[in-house]
Amino acid sequence: MTQTPLSDLGEFGLIDRLASKFEIKRSSTLKSIGDDAAVLDFQQKKIVVTTDLLVEGIHYNLTYVPLVHLGYKAVVVNLSDVYAMNARPTQITVSLGISNKFYLEAVEQIYEGIRLACEKYNVDLVGGDTSSTPNGSLIAVTAIGELVSDEAVYRNTAQTGDLICVSGDLGAAYAGLQLLEREQEMFKSDPTMQPVLEGYEYILERQLKPEARKDIIELLAELEIVPSAMIDISDGLSSELIHICTQSKKGCTVYEDKLPIADQTKKFANELRLDPSVFAMNGGEDYELLFTICQEDYSKLKNNSYISIIGHIVDTEAELNLIARDGTPVKIEAQGWKNFNS
């Protein structure tokens, strides 16, 4: 691969080159990259704003994360937060910090991932900043979106008796990460080893190339369901249930046998002699939507293959229970993403 030093282009040359590959698709984008700020016009619509920072060595490991996927994921994790407000993402800004080890071609790969995410989710890249770093890299993305209906869906508005729903399946991204780290350790001890990833394509993809649940927000709109509360699952189901319940001043009962877990996640957890339910409850990086609906909406979702109803909201604050397969209630506690390994 060609390796063009970034100094050959200079900061403005680099920005011009990267920006030229992005098209503006949104009518709310009046002015994109190229001035002191982007100019946006949302007419009467309310908007949402969210930001996420990914740091090399903390959130990603470039020895096994392809740069295209890094760019893609940095966008998707922000879009997931926008959807979790019952909003549609419209614009992003991206700040990229890279050391002088990065050549133009590497930066272009990161931006190719950003471009692919913008295309898939119909979002405009409208600004950003590129800086060198003394070492390591980072991506900070800010996403803006417009509300689907007049009101946002918050975390603190779940009601007693509401059904607790989750999209897709849980724990796969965490399983994928464990697999990648295991293979890396094996490679370190014997560099002639080739990683064995066959049969685990799904959990790898969930870790390396997560998607935000645009389709679920569209589905809910179609079914005329406005969730009573919603959050995206970035730190693990336990942590997000605690957010919804604490902020709503409620409790919850969820059932272990209702947790949606993919076959590959189960298979890999079993290989490690770990409980797949722990992956689902505490794994994190699922970017699925956790939401509550009133009981009247049950019939609209009961047979939907994209959504699992895993429990319900109870009145007693701070009484958060997972009912295990044998019927035993287990108190739900936040392990969180970062403490999971400790």
Near its own copies by CB under 8 A, which window of 51-59, 170-178, 302-310, 312-320?
Answer: 51-59
- Our finding on whether 305 is near its own copies (CB under 8 A) is no
- In the complex with its own copies, the residue whose CB is nearer, 261 or 289, is 289
Q: Which of 5, 16, 30, 119 binds its own copies (CB under 8 A)?
A: 30
Touching its own copies, residues 226-265 (CB under 8 A): 230-232, 247
- Our finding on whether 66 is near its own copies (CB under 8 A) is no
Q: Which of 14, 67, 85, 166 binds its own copies (CB under 8 A)?
A: 85
Please state, as a whole number, how many other Cβ atoms lie within 10 Å of the Cβ of residue 273. Answer: 6
Tokens of 183: 């293979």
Residue 55 C-beta: closest distance to its own copies, Å = 5
- In the complex with its own copies, the residue whose CB is nearer, 204 or 244, is 244
Task: Kindly state the DSSP code that residue 162 receives in the 8-state scheme.
Answer: P
Touching its own copies, residues 152-211 (CB under 8 A): 152, 154-156
- Our finding on whether 214 is near its own copies (CB under 8 A) is no
Residue 302 C-beta: closest distance to its own copies, Å = 26
Q: Which of 75, 91, 251, 287 binds its own copies (CB under 8 A)?
A: 91
Q: How far lies 48's CA from each of 29, 145, 198, 213, 341, in Å?
A: 15, 5, 40, 16, 33
Taking the mean position of all CA atoms in its chain, how far away is CA 67? 17
- Our finding on whether 292 is near its own copies (CB under 8 A) is no
Near its own copies by CB under 8 A, which window of 66-74, 92-100, 111-119, 309-317?
Answer: 92-100
Touching its own copies, residues 108-127 (CB under 8 A): 126-127
Look up tokens 């809910």; give the residue.
220
Residue 40 C-beta: closest distance to its own copies, Å = 5
Distance CA 131, CA 135 (A): 11
Distance CA 251, CA 162 (A): 11
Pick the closest to residue 25 from 124, 114, 127 (CA basis).
124
Near its own copies by CB under 8 A, which window of 88-96, 188-196, 260-268, 313-321?
Answer: 88-96
Taking the mean position of all CA atoms in its chain, how far away is CA 218? 17
Distance CA 274, CA 280 (A): 11
- The contacts of residue 259 (CB under 8 Å, 6+ apart) are 170, 237, 277, 280, 281, 308, 310
Residue 230 C-beta: closest distance to its own copies, Å = 8
Distance CA 73, CA 136 (A): 18
- Our finding on whether 39 is near its own copies (CB under 8 A) is yes
First vs last Cα of the chain: how many Å apart? 40
Give the gyration radius of the chain's Cα atoms: 21
Look up tokens 């919603």; give the residue.
230
Tokens of 168: 């897709």
- In the complex with its own copies, the residue whose CB is nearer, 44 or 303, is 44
- In the complex with its own copies, the residue whose CB is nearer, 247 or 304, is 247
Residue type, 302: K
Near its own copies by CB under 8 A, which window of 78-86, 171-179, 260-268, 319-327?
Answer: 78-86
Contact set with its own copies (CB under 8 A): 10-11, 30-31, 34-44, 46-59, 81-82, 84-85, 87, 91, 93-97, 126-136, 138, 140, 142-145, 147, 152, 154-156, 230-232, 247, 336, 338
